[in-house]
Amino acid sequence: MFREENIEDLFNGIRSGSRRALARALSLIESTTEPDRDRAFALLELCSTVTTVSRRIGLTGSPGVGKSTLVESLGLSLVNLGSRVAVLAVDPSSKRTGGSILGDKVRMPNLSLHANAFVRPSPSRLALGGAATTTRDAIILCEAGGYDTILVETVGVGQSETDVADMVDLFLLLVLPTAGDDVQGIKRGIMEMAHALVVTKSDLDLQATNIAVATYTGALRMMIPPVEDWSPPVVSVSAVQGDGLRNVLDVIERFFADNRRPAIDRVRISQKTSWFSAALQHELLTELLRNPQYNEIMKGLIVKVTDGGLPPSVAVHQLISHITINVSEHL
Ligand X SMILES: Nc1nc2c(ncn2[C@@H]2O[C@H](COP(=O)(O)OP(=O)(O)OP(=O)(O)O)[C@@H](O)[C@H]2O)c(=O)[nH]1
Q: Which stretch binds ligand X (CB under 6 A): 13-21, 197-205, 302-310, 315-323?
A: 197-205
Under rule CB under 5 A, residue 136 binds Mg ion: no
Strand ordering across the sheet containing 196-199:
117-120, 85-90, 149-154, 55-60, 170-175, 196-199, 234-236
105 vs 201 by CB, closer to Mg ion: 105
Q: Which of residues 252-281 bind Mg ion (CB under 5 A)?
A: none
Q: Does 109 bind ligand X (CB under 6 A)?
A: no
**Contacting range for ligand X; rule: CB under 6 A; set: 27-35, 66-74, 114-122, 158-166:** 66-74
- 249 alpha carbon, distance to own chain's centre: 20
The H-assigned helical ranges of 109-205 are 109-113, 131-144, 160-165, 180-185, 188-193
- 196 to each of 48, 59, 173, 215, 220, how far by Cα in Å? 29, 10, 6, 14, 10
Q: Is 233 in the site for ligand X (CB under 6 A)?
A: no
Instruction: Decide if residue 120 touches ligand X (CB under 6 A).
Output: no
Residue positions counted in the chain: 331
Only segment of 38-46, 65-73, 156-164, 275-283 that touches Mg ion (CB under 5 A): 65-73
Contact call for residue 68 and ligand X (CB under 6 A) = yes
Is position 99 an interface residue for ligand X (rule: CB under 6 A)?
Answer: no
122 interacts with Mg ion by CB under 5 A: no
DSSP H or E run through 247: helix 245-255
Q: At what angle do helices 67-80 and 245-255 cross, to 10 degrees?
A: 70
Shortest Cβ 119–Mg ion spacing (Å): 12
Please report, as residue ranges, which positions from 142 to 171 form the binding site for ligand X (by CB under 6 A): 155
Q: Minimum distance between the CB of residue 293 and Mg ion, rounded to whole angstroms?
A: 44
Helix (H, G, I), strand (E, B) or coil at 90: strand
Return the one option of Mg ion, ligand X, none that residue 239 interacts with (CB less than 5 to 8 A, by type). Answer: ligand X
Range list of β-strands (E), the chain: 55-60, 85-90, 117-120, 149-154, 170-175, 196-199, 234-236
Q: Is 67 in the site for ligand X (CB under 6 A)?
A: yes
Segment 100 to 119, residues that bind Mg ion, using CB under 5 A? 105
Pairing mode of beta strands 55-60, 170-175: parallel
Query: 60, 69, 236, 247: which one contacts ligand X (CB under 6 A)?
Result: 69
Residue 240 interacting with ligand X (CB under 6 A): yes
Judged by the rule CB under 6 A, the positions of this chain that interact with ligand X are 61, 63-69, 105, 155, 200-201, 203-204, 238-240
